[in-house]
Structure 1
Amino acid sequence: MRYVAPTRHSLDRSVFASPPLSAWGEYTSLLDGDTWPDTAPLNALLPPGSAVRFVTQDKALLDDGLHYEERIARKGAIATRAENWHDLFNALIWLRYPSLKRALNARQMDEIARMGPRERSRPQCALTHFDEAGMIVSLRDPEMLRAWDAHDWSTLFWTHREAWLRGEASVEVFGHALLEHALTPEKLLVGKALVVMDGRDARAVCAEAIHRGAVLNDPQELRPLPVSGVPGWHADTGEASFYTTAPCFQPLRAGRIYPPPL
């Protein structure tokens, strides 16, 4: 069933006080204001000399006949629908993670050149999955990675609870659709993750790997992570039973193997 986000006026504003949306506090005026922002305040937050800008998506814009990614690459125009949570979160991702967004766009353009604008390749599916539902996970403890490899969610989140609380393991939500789903507090969130080990600059590592085509060549490369299990991200993470009973914690499929971390 297609997700329908709450309206701006029906939204439970408490969602902005809890992860993952609490990480976006610098954009409170855009997210939690009484009225929808148009593209002007979004463009005002772009750095001087930015190669992209947010443009209202309307018939006149779409009449250029360009693919969404082509419009960004050729014109620097990011089509943005008015009064739309999905596109507002997409704009915020562009503001916070421009190098990652540029890397995804460049890879999409490579695939469009190879496949044409109507066909989709396995790399395009992987790039889109990360764009919509992606997360960057930073870990230091190999034991946590082994638990994740086995979908041993109790070990990953409960046994290593203190590592998450101390910031030795962390998640950055990159996918704008995942942020949109977080507007409904009762939803159990599952994202598609790239994982970086050893405390390196995870954003830069991921952007470089995407740009050179080392990752996101197939959707199966992405690791599913029930991010609602991160301690403090859901009301029930204080109970060990949550990790064995909640439907988001699925067992590993037979034959499923994940690639090594970055």
Structure 2
Amino acid sequence: MTAAAATAAGGGRRRFEPPARDAVAADCFDHPLFAGMAAFGDLLQAAVWPSVRSLDARLALPGKTLVAQDAALLADGLHYEARIAQGRIATRAGNWHDLFNALVWARYPQLKVALNAAQCRHMATVPSGQRNRAQAALTQFDETGVVVRVRDPLVLAAWDAHDWAALFAPAWWQSGSIAIAAVFGHALMEQALLPGRLLVGKCVVVQGDERAACIEVVANAIDAGTVLDDPLQLRPLPLAGVPGWHDVQDVAFYGNADYFRPLREGRRYPPPLHTAGSVDG
């Protein structure tokens, strides 16, 4: 949702200014945060921007068309989400945020469709120009969302307590006790164009084994309205703490309480979703 780009993924309020296309080094996209975008490397690394028309033809989104966000389009007076529900995704040419948004539509269409349907349901229940807590949660997940897969409840206990030293223990990540199933938020990708930026993902957690099944469970839960009722339901994950995701990950780095923030008094997170056949323990 392009209007939400003004909010920095790390929780700030200043508008993020991405680098120019020719200022982004090709190896930027080797970072694990961009792993889900590997199939679109040419669109990210080419010297020139793809046109909205050519991007639409390349991605061929089922039931959706990328359309240039210009004065003629905006003259219809429709809300961004309402227009998507009609099949048109407003897209700005030469814009990193909207390019990543389009690529996420191609990579994770089930999540995008579910989020749009949920936004439209809520829009129908609140006065024009207003937003409820669920809409804020849906937007945060759309912009900065990460789907995390877990197997070991001890991992969740550490996360519940913001015990970052335990959560980011390399052994847990190497064994698959916890893993990133999908970096979904297109604002995260935009901000990751500046290497070394300390980003925070807003996570929905699934207990299960298969990445695709975890993503499907999240999409189904959004569609059913059983998740994302409030932004506080999203678990923050300081992504630079994931083993191998930042250049220097020493004791001093993990001791930065401005980034690895302690748990606020009274903060509680929801239990994980479950894929079919997954069990606790």
Structure 1 unaligned segments of length 5 or more: list them: none
Find out whether 1:187 has 2:200 as its counterpart: no
Q: Give 3-state SS (helix, strand or coil) of 2:38's partner.
A: helix
- The equivalent position to 1:94 in structure 2, one of 105, 120, 127, is 105
Residues 38-53 of structure 1 mapped to structure 2, 5 A cutoff = 38-47=51-60, 50-53=62-65
- The equivalent position to 2:27 in structure 1, one of 11, 14, 34, is 14
Q: Give 3-state SS (helix, strand or coil) of 2:259's partner.
A: coil
State the shift of 1:227 in Å: 1.2
The one-letter amino acid paired with 1:61 is L
- The equivalent position to 1:250 in structure 2, one of 261, 264, 272, is 261
Which residue of the partner structure matches residue 221 of structure 2?
A: 209
Partners of 2:54 and 2:178 in 1: CA distance: 34
CA spacing shift, 1:213–1:84, aligned 2, 3 Å: same
Scaled by the length of structure 2, the TM-score of the pair is: 0.87
Which residue of the partner structure matches residue 178 of structure 2?
A: 169
Q: Give 3-state SS (helix, strand or coil) of 1:115's partner.
A: coil
State the shift of 1:98 in Å: 0.6
Which residue of the partner structure matches residue 238 of structure 2?
A: 226
The one-letter amino acid paired with 2:203 is A
State the shift of 1:166 in Å: 4.2
Which residue of the partner structure matches residue 143 of structure 2?
A: 132
Alignment: residue pair count? 257
Misfit runs of 4+, over 4 Å: none
Partners of 2:148 and 2:251 in 1: CA distance: 22
Q: Which moved more, 1:178-187 or 1:165-174?
A: 165-174
Percent of counterpart pairs with the same letter?
51
State the shift of 1:163 in Å: 2.8
Partners of 1:2 and 1:47 in 2: CA distance: 31
Partners of 1:208 and 1:261 in 2: CA distance: 14
Find out whether 1:37 has 2:50 as its counterpart: yes
Find out whether 1:73 has 2:82 as its counterpart: no
Which residue of the partner structure matches residue 119 of structure 1?
A: 130
Partners of 1:241 and 1:59 in 2: CA distance: 50
CA RMSD of the aligned region, Å?
Answer: 1.5
The one-letter amino acid paired with 1:124 is Q
The one-letter amino acid paired with 2:104 is I
State the shift of 1:246 in Å: 6.3
CA spacing shift, 1:243–1:9, aligned 2, 3 Å: same
Q: Give 3-state SS (helix, strand or coil) of 1:225's partner.
A: strand
State the shift of 1:198 in Å: 2.6
Scaled by the length of structure 1, the TM-score of the pair is: 0.94
